[in-house]
Structure 1
C-alpha cells in the first residue's frame, strides 16, 4: 500500500474512486461520483482545458526523481485554474518535498519502501516549505 505525504505527516490513501488516464477522461468520467485523473510526466496539460472544474484530483507521475517535468505540470495546472487536489506520484524524494509544495502539489504519493528509507522526520524537515526558499533566504540577507 502506498503512503500519502502531507505537511501533517504520513497517511493512508483516502481516495477510493480510482483513476482515469487523461486521454480517457471524456469517455470514462461521465457517471463517476468523483473524478481523478492520472497525468503522465510528458502530457500536455492543455488536454484538460475546459474540464478542470469537473476533476476532483489530478495525480502527476514522476518516473524518476531526476525527472522534474511534473513540477512544471503542477505549476501549469494551477495557473490554468485547477483548484482541486494535486498529487505527485512516484519517485519523489524527501529533498524534493518543498519544491513539490511550491509548485502546487498538495500531497505526494510514495511507496512503502521509500517511506521506510525516508521516514516522516526527513519529510518534516522540509514541511515548512513556505519559508525555506531561495527568495526568502535572499531577502533575509539584505
Structure 2
C-alpha cells in the first residue's frame, strides 16, 4: 500500500535500463507475447512497470507470474507457466541475471538468456547465452 501511494503520488519511478522499454515495445509490436515472472508480487510488478522511468509499460505484458506459481529455482514453476500461457516451453525465452533461475528454466525446456550488464564481464564459456543489454537479444 505504501508503494502504491508513493508511485501514484509520483514519489517513485521504477528504474529500467535505457534500451529496455524500446526493445519491449518492438517485441510486442512484432507480435510477441511478453510475460513477467518475478519474486515480487504481481501487484508490485504492475506498480513497477506501470510507473517506470519510461512510462507505463503494463500494456506490453500479456501476464504476470510471481512465486505463487512456485520457486524461481524449480523447473516445475516454469512448467506451470508454460501450461498457463498455453505454449510449448521450447518456444519460450526466459531472461534473468541469476544462473540458478536460468538452470531451472532450461531444465523445464525453456530457451534462456543470461543478462550480464557491465561492469559484469561476459564469461568466455557462459552457461547460458549471455547478453550485455536487451539490444543484443533476438527472441
Larger relative contact order, structure 1 or 2 (CA cutoff 8 Å, min sep 6): 1
Structure with greater strand percent: 1
State if a TM-score over 0.5 links the two structures: no
